[in-house]
């Protein structure tokens, strides 16, 4: 708190100096704090005022000059910033921050090879800095150079074994290189060395899930949860695995745990509902699909499955009511097709036709929908729409015997 008060006092004193025009003394560290503050809040006008005042009092100070280059870069004056950094390199050797800022500018301007060269210069000054390896990883990824990106990520982990970004980067590189077995081996070795890494266990579990090794995945997730009992992703993954194993009751239990860790999400409600549905508990499923929709009225999957289960349970009127709400809330081709089917079941032919027409406007022509709509045009005697629809369908599906037969009246 005292540090915060000191910071606020320095900023207020500087701004008072700008407003009144009086000159106040600030030592170098205070000026650096002031400049950094205005860069952080994005007020480059005041940052420049602070830089100029500091430059008058501490001419040619390399930290102030570095801030100049940084603000120039933030204002997209890249050539000026690079020129300033080049001048600094001639005067001052082995300033790692110069090379890091240079690399950042090259990266922003899509000059990734140059960014890599700047980072490699920084490594000559400090080859043990995991942050530089992280930056190198990203630059190599921009160039789709996954082999070198992986090497950089692994070196980052060598110097900082707890670097979560590096773990994710390494696993991503293994994925890009299609080295799944090596990825699993890497993660197994990692958790052996770092058994308290919940991220390591979680990523290992995901790999086991990809290989359908669900029992191994559960054990890995149990370790992740034991380390961090608020690890939301681990609970979601464990519930997912339990669903895959057909243990719906346990899956529901773990999805419900997530509701107590963070704010309720439509994702959690949806999967609870789906597990109740799979467990042949339709009423509970309906209740939780409704909760998912309440959280997010645009949750398409919940609408679709809610309407299906209502229709399956013989609650056609309720299904139709929800289906009408669904297409008004989130109009998609699939929801309109579902709506049309319910309308057809209740003999509302004109509305069925309109729903099918809307469905075809919202996506590709699907042969089953074309045939159903063609039959309804025929039933209502609308020969022109019947012919027009089938001609358009034949253009898209010239080899469809079903379309040809419908046109010829067979």
User: Using CA atoms, how far apart are residues 241 and 188, in angstroms rounded to an integer?
Assistant: 19
270: nearest Cα among 244, 238, 295: 295
State residue 7's pLDDT score: 84
Quick check: 179 pLDDT over 50? Answer: yes
Q: Are residues 201 and 233 in contact, defined by beta-carbon separation less than 8 angstroms?
A: no
- Residue 405's CB: how many other CB atoms inside 10 A? 11
Percent of the chain clearing pLDDT 90 (strictly above): 88
State residue 111's pLDDT score: 97
User: Using CA atoms, how far apart are residues 18 and 50, in angstroms rounded to an integer?
Assistant: 9
337: nearest Cα among 317, 355, 325, 364: 355
For the whole prediction, is pTM greater than 0.75?
yes
Q: How far is CA 164 from the centre of its chain?
A: 17
- Among 112-116, 205-209, 302-306, 401-405, the range scoring the smallest mean pLDDT is 401-405
Quick check: 1 pLDDT over 70? Answer: no
Q: Are residues 221 and 238 in contact, defined by beta-carbon separation less than 8 angstroms?
A: yes
Quick check: 3 pLDDT over 60? Answer: no
- Residue 91's CB: how many other CB atoms inside 10 A? 10
- Residue range 141-164: average pLDDT? 97
Per residue in 308-338, pLDDT (tens digit) is 999 999 999 999 999 999 999 999 999 999 9
What one-character DSSP code corresponds to residue 346? T
State how far the alpha carbon of 179 is from the alpha carbons of 159, 170, 182, 208, 398, in Å.
24, 11, 5, 14, 42
Long-range contacts (CB closer than 8 Å, 24 or more residues apart) made by 352-361: 352/376, 353/377, 353/380, 355/327, 358/327, 358/331, 359/333, 360/333
Tokens at residue 409, please? 């009246």
Tokens at residue 328, please? 């008004």
| Confidence class for position 94, pLDDT limits 50, 70, 90 | confident
Quick check: 5 pLDDT over 80? Answer: no
Percent of the chain clearing pLDDT 70 (strictly above): 99
User: Using CA atoms, how far apart are residues 310 and 317, in angstroms rounded to an integer?
Assistant: 9
Tokens at residue 270, please? 């949806």
Q: What is the mean pLDDT of the chain?
A: 94
Q: Are residues 252 and 272 in contact, defined by beta-carbon separation less than 8 angstroms?
A: yes
Q: Can you tell me which residue has the tokens 């609308």?
A: 382
Tokens at residue 166, please? 């590096």
| Confidence class for position 410, pLDDT limits 50, 70, 90 | low
Q: Cβ contacts of residue 41 below 8 Å, gap of 6+?
A: none
- Residue range 98-120: average pLDDT? 96
- Residue range 82-92: average pLDDT? 90
State residue 331's pLDDT score: 95
- Superfamily grouping for domain 179-251: Tetratricopeptide repeat domain (1.25.40.10)
User: Using CA atoms, how far apart are residues 258 and 266, in angstroms rounded to an integer?
Assistant: 12
User: Using CA atoms, how far apart are residues 324 and 338, in angstroms rounded to an integer?
Assistant: 10
| Confidence class for position 4, pLDDT limits 50, 70, 90 | low
Per residue in 236-294, pLDDT (tens digit) is 999 999 999 999 999 999 999 999 999 999 999 999 999 999 999 999 999 999 999 99
Per residue in 34-50, pLDDT (tens digit) is 999 999 999 999 999 99
199: nearest Cα among 208, 212, 210, 190: 190
DSSP 3-state percent helix, strand, coil across the chain (nearest 5): 80, 0, 20
């Amino acid at each position: 708190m005292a540090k915060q008060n000191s910071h606020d006092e320095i900023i207020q004193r500087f701004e008072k100096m700008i407003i009144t025009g009086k000159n106040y003394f600030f030592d170098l560290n205070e000026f650096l704090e002031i400049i950094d503050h205005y860069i952080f809040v994005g007020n480059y006008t005041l940052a420049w005022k602070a830089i100029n005042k500091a430059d008058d009092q501490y001419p040619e100070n390399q930290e102030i000059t570095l801030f100049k280059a940084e603000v120039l870069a933030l204002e997209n004056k890249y050539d000026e910033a690079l020129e300033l950094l080049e001048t600094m390199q001639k005067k001052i050797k082995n300033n790692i921050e110069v090379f890091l800022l240079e690399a950042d500018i090259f990266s922003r301007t899509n000059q990734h090879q140059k960014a890599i060269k700047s980072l490699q210069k920084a490594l000559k000054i400090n080859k043990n800095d995991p942050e530089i390896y992280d930056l190198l990883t990203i630059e190599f990824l921009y160039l789709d150079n996954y082999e070198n990106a992986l090497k950089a990520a692994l070196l980052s982990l060598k110097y900082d074994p707890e670097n979560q970004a590096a773990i994710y980067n390494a696993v991503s590189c293994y994925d890009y290189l299609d080295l799944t077995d090596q990825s699993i081996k890497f993660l197994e070795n990692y958790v052996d060395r770092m058994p308290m890494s919940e991220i390591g266990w979680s990523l290992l579990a995901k790999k086991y899930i990809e290989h359908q090794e669900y029992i191994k995945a559960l054990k890995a997730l149990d370790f992740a949860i034991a380390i961090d009992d608020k690890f939301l992703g681990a609970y979601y993954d464990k519930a997912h695995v339990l669903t895959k194993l057909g243990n719906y009751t346990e899956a529901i239990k773990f999805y419900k745990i997530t509701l107590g860790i963070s704010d309720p999400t439509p994702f959690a409600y949806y999967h609870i509902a789906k597990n109740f549905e799979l467990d042949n508990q339709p009423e509970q499923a309906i209740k939780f699909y409704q909760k998912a929709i309440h959280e997010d009225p645009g949750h398409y999957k919940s609408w679709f499955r809610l309407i299906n289960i209502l229709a399956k349970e013989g609650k056609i009127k309720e299904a139709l009511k929800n289906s009408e709400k669904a297409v008004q809330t989130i109009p998609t081709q699939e929801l309109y097709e579902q709506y049309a089917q319910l309308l057809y079941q209740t003999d509302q032919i004109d509305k069925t036709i309109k729903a099918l027409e809307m469905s075809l406007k919202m996506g590709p022509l699907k042969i089953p929908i074309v045939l159903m709509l063609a039959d309804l045009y025929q039933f209502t005697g609308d020969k022109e729409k019947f012919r027009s629809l089938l001609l358009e369908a034949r253009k898209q599906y010239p080899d469809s015997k079903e379309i040809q037969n419908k046109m010829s009246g067979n």
